[in-house]
Structure 1
Amino acid sequence: MSAPVRQVLMTCAVFEPGTRGGGLVPAVAGTVDSAPPDVEIRLVTLDRDIGDTHPYPGLSGRWVSRGRALVFYLAARSPHQWLRLFGVLRSRRYDVLHVNGVFAPLTGAFLVAARLRLIRCRLLLVSPHGECAPGALAIRARKKRWYLRFLRALLRGADTRWHASTAFEAAHIAAVFPGARVVTHHLPVDLPARARPPACAPADVTRTVFLSRIAPKKNLGTALRALRFATGPLHLDVYGPVEDPAYWARCAALIDALPAHVTVRHRGEVPPGAAIDVFSRYDAFVFPTRGENFGYVIAESLAASCPVICSAETPWTSVLDAGGGTVVGESSPRAWADVLNAFAALSPGERAVARARAGEAYDAWRAERTDGNLFAGAWARQPSGRVRVGPGRGVPGGRR
């Protein structure tokens, strides 16, 4: 007899063809596409990209096939679509309700629906995607504290697992939710098997890049404040969608006040799949992020042999210390300025060596990594009849 088909219901605020979700979109796509044959997935996502006022053409309110998965594109303000969606979802019982994001728009609604038994599921699986990092929680902290109280009450008594991409993130989850049962399992990534060589040789002036969403969590402002103390010529190109216009206005004011020997340009958004090509043209990726559960963009930079100058709020510290770049242990602009000035003082030949070392660090990390699926081999019935999710393996540096 064939094994029974396991039913998984997933939620994710942004999914393909959206491009502004950072590493969330490829992480969820990898989970869906690599699901084992005995897993059937229904994924609910919003019908528009982050910051867009119009839906994707022809997708709103529709179910779309993706391999063995079905994806529903929901207009969040359409009661008709909500009623039609739940009419379909109530027709079956799910082994797992997997929500992506603690503060994501769909998470609260679907967890409430599960609590009220509008959705029947045996297990709740929550993937915070870095939202439990201290730096991330510090943004709009009061509002988040109130929501976390609500969430703890909502999950009390439910069979819940928390998914962490790395042991680094697992520690953050445990600090916010004491006693939480955390599954540590890295997700499949669509990255080159080996690092690509740089697209061009280092120039006389150091060329750095920031590539991420322009939002408080990604912390572009700290890099711009640091550039006020630049002691020599330095160039920074900024790529990424403006997720928070008010934050970008503050960043623009900082750019206007920079000294004449520092050049900063906003180059717009990077097309899907083009990040590695962009990184290959620069001497370093400057990323003062307030917290990453994995940091897909860091992997893309290293895959382009582009060193990463990064905060300590990511799981990549060991890889960067091994040659992938520099970890800035303090969050002050002065601390960042010291690191950027030291890097800008390197000769073109020394920067070429740093790029080669970044590629070697990527190759070592990639060779140690074994991708898998969050649901593969994770089903084992307990006497209570509940489904338990087993732990995964691996962290970015290949260490526990």
Structure 2
Amino acid sequence: MKKLLIVTRWYLPAVKSGGTVRSLIALVDRLKDSFDIIIITSDRDLGAVEPYKNIEFDTLIRKDGIGIIYLSSINVSNMHKYMKMINPDILYINSFFDITTQSIMVLKLLKLIKADIILAPRGELAFGALSIKPTKKKIYLTIYKLLNMSKNITFHATSKEDLSDIKKIFPSNNIEIIQNLKEENKNQSILPYKNRDSLKIVFISRIAPVKNLHYALSILKDTKIEESLIFDIYGPIEDKDYWLRCQQIFADMPDNITISYKGFVEPSMIQSTLGKYHLFFLPTKGENFGHAIVEAMQVGLIPLISNKTPWQDLESFTAGFSLSLENPDSFSTAIRKVAQFDNEEFLIVSENVKKYITQKVNSDETLEKYKIFFNK
């Protein structure tokens, strides 16, 4: 059995760090009988000052069929220590810019890593992601290329868009495309009755520039509509300055639009939370998968998203809207259209959405691709 070392900044019990953790949970759960899996991760959640409670740090813990090491300090020395101790066959890195990856790249330059390296950028090389704090990223990429750090690295893309983004920067590297694993939604949600004169909209994501909440708020503010709209926002505030920018838009909202920030929602409660709404609104600047989008579609919400995700053919299936951020009027038109739906019209599209995502996410087939990928 091959030894697979997964390096990720966040893993269970982390709940605030977005889709990568959830992708890895599904992957580890499905692969742990086929590989000896060990995870190296940090000792705290995204944005947390204090480390996790009741967890032993800087030692290998065996639990639920896998090994986990929670590092109290992420640096080259610690990474080398545990890399040497584990001696993996495959090293699977889950970020391009994170300190965990930077530490491993130093070890690679020093020729201290023997394992095959697979790197999943997790959408960090998308144009929208690179445009956030671009100077530091450009400097890092320049150094990365000058030192030829990408030599002998296989990149893992999770969508055609992700593949294209990686290929633009690293055209000579081997890139494998395999969709993220996603556990099936076996529970059924009863969505709220849809009246023609009202619409319940939800945003669930991190409050950060790449998720484009301010764009969504601006669209709502400028949409000329008589129906009553509710727009509820869920997610951890990752960027406080950006959140203040979003709040400033609240003040100018028309009287028929109610905006509420509902705070962070636990992953285990996302499905039941989504079941309170009709429309899922996420005009993101880039997603390599979009777990919240997928969950919303599995519940039956109509997605209103940008075309910066893998789910770009929604209109062809009458299963929602995947629109260009350069055309804000198209988002307004979509909102007005859904607001005009009665319950029967809403349920027809809702069923289309569920059929669409069921066809697109094939866990068994994807699992076999991962087994082959990590066994090469």
TM normalised by structure 1 equals: 0.85
Q: Which amino acid aligns with 1:49?
A: D
Asked if 1:365 is matched to 2:357, the reply is no
Counting helix residues as a fraction of each chain, which structure ranks higher? Answer: 2
Asked if 1:87 is matched to 2:81, the reply is yes
Structure 2 CA distance, aligned partners of 1:271 and 1:96?
32
Displacement after TM superposition at 1:370 (Å): 2.2
Structure 2 CA distance, aligned partners of 1:314 and 1:322?
16
Structure 2 CA distance, aligned partners of 1:127 and 1:283?
33
Aligned residues: 372
- Of residues 311-320 and 63-72 in structure 1, the stretch that sits farther from structure 2 once superposed is 63-72
Q: Which amino acid aligns with 1:95?
A: D
**What is the DSSP-based 3-state SS (H/G/I as helix, E as strand, rest coil) of the residue aligned with 1:371?**
helix
Structure 1 CA distance, aligned partners of 2:336 and 2:47?
35
* Cross-structure match for 1:202: 194
8 Å contact 1:198–1:355 — kept in the other structure? no
Please, what is the CA RMSD of the aligned residues? 2.4
- Of residues 147-156 and 230-239 in structure 1, the stretch that sits farther from structure 2 once superposed is 147-156
- Structure 1's unaligned 5+ residue stretches are 381-388, 390-400
Residue from 231, 235, 240 that aligns with 2:235: 240
Residue from 186, 191, 216 that aligns with 2:184: 191
* Cross-structure match for 1:33: 29
* Cross-structure match for 1:315: 310
* Cross-structure match for 1:47: 43
Structure 2 CA distance, aligned partners of 1:275 and 1:32?
21
Asked if 1:273 is matched to 2:285, the reply is no
- Of residues 364-373 and 248-257 in structure 1, the stretch that sits farther from structure 2 once superposed is 364-373
Structure 1 CA distance, aligned partners of 2:108 and 2:88?
10
Q: Which amino acid aligns with 1:355?
A: S
**What is the DSSP-based 3-state SS (H/G/I as helix, E as strand, rest coil) of the residue aligned with 1:274?**
helix
Displacement after TM superposition at 1:197 (Å): 4.4
Alpha-carbon distance change, 379 to 198 in structure 1, aligned in 2, over 3 angstroms: closer
Structure 1 CA distance, aligned partners of 2:147 and 2:12?
30
**What is the DSSP-based 3-state SS (H/G/I as helix, E as strand, rest coil) of the residue aligned with 1:102?**
coil
Structure 2 CA distance, aligned partners of 1:138 and 1:84?
31
Displacement after TM superposition at 1:112 (Å): 1.1
Structure 2 CA distance, aligned partners of 1:302 and 1:239?
17
8 Å contact 1:212–1:239 — kept in the other structure? yes
Asked if 1:327 is matched to 2:322, the reply is yes
Q: Which amino acid aligns with 2:111?
A: R
Residue from 117, 126, 130 that aligns with 2:119: 126
Alpha-carbon distance change, 62 to 122 in structure 1, aligned in 2, over 3 angstroms: closer
Displacement after TM superposition at 1:9 (Å): 2.1
Asked if 1:11 is matched to 2:7, the reply is yes
8 Å contact 1:229–1:334 — kept in the other structure? no
Structure 2 CA distance, aligned partners of 1:331 and 1:198?
34
Structure 2 CA distance, aligned partners of 1:368 and 1:374?
10
8 Å contact 2:90–2:374 — kept in the other structure? no
Q: Which amino acid aligns with 2:317?
A: A
8 Å contact 1:320–1:361 — kept in the other structure? no
Asked if 1:255 is matched to 2:250, the reply is yes
Structure 1 CA distance, aligned partners of 2:363 and 2:27?
20
1:212-246 superposed Cα distances (whole Å, 9 cap, x missing partner): 11101111110001111122231100011111111
**What is the DSSP-based 3-state SS (H/G/I as helix, E as strand, rest coil) of the residue aligned with 1:222?**
helix
* Cross-structure match for 2:61: 64
* Cross-structure match for 1:147: 140
Alpha-carbon distance change, 321 to 329 in structure 1, aligned in 2, over 3 angstroms: farther
Residue from 151, 155, 173 that aligns with 1:180: 173
Alpha-carbon distance change, 111 to 238 in structure 1, aligned in 2, over 3 angstroms: same
Percent identity of the aligned residues? 25
Residue from 148, 158, 161 that aligns with 2:154: 161
- Structure 2's unaligned 5+ residue stretches are none
Structure 1 CA distance, aligned partners of 2:350 and 2:34?
43
Q: Which amino acid aligns with 1:73?
A: Y
Q: Which amino acid aligns with 1:39?
A: F
Displacement after TM superposition at 1:36 (Å): 5.6
Structure 1 CA distance, aligned partners of 2:90 and 2:141?
22
Q: Which amino acid aligns with 1:206?
A: L
* Cross-structure match for 2:103: 109
**What is the DSSP-based 3-state SS (H/G/I as helix, E as strand, rest coil) of the residue aligned with 2:85?**
coil
8 Å contact 2:105–2:149 — kept in the other structure? no
1:166-206 superposed Cα distances (whole Å, 9 cap, x missing partner): 2231111101222221011123211225x834333124410
* Cross-structure match for 2:297: 302
**What is the DSSP-based 3-state SS (H/G/I as helix, E as strand, rest coil) of the residue aligned with 1:209?**
strand
8 Å contact 1:222–1:332 — kept in the other structure? no
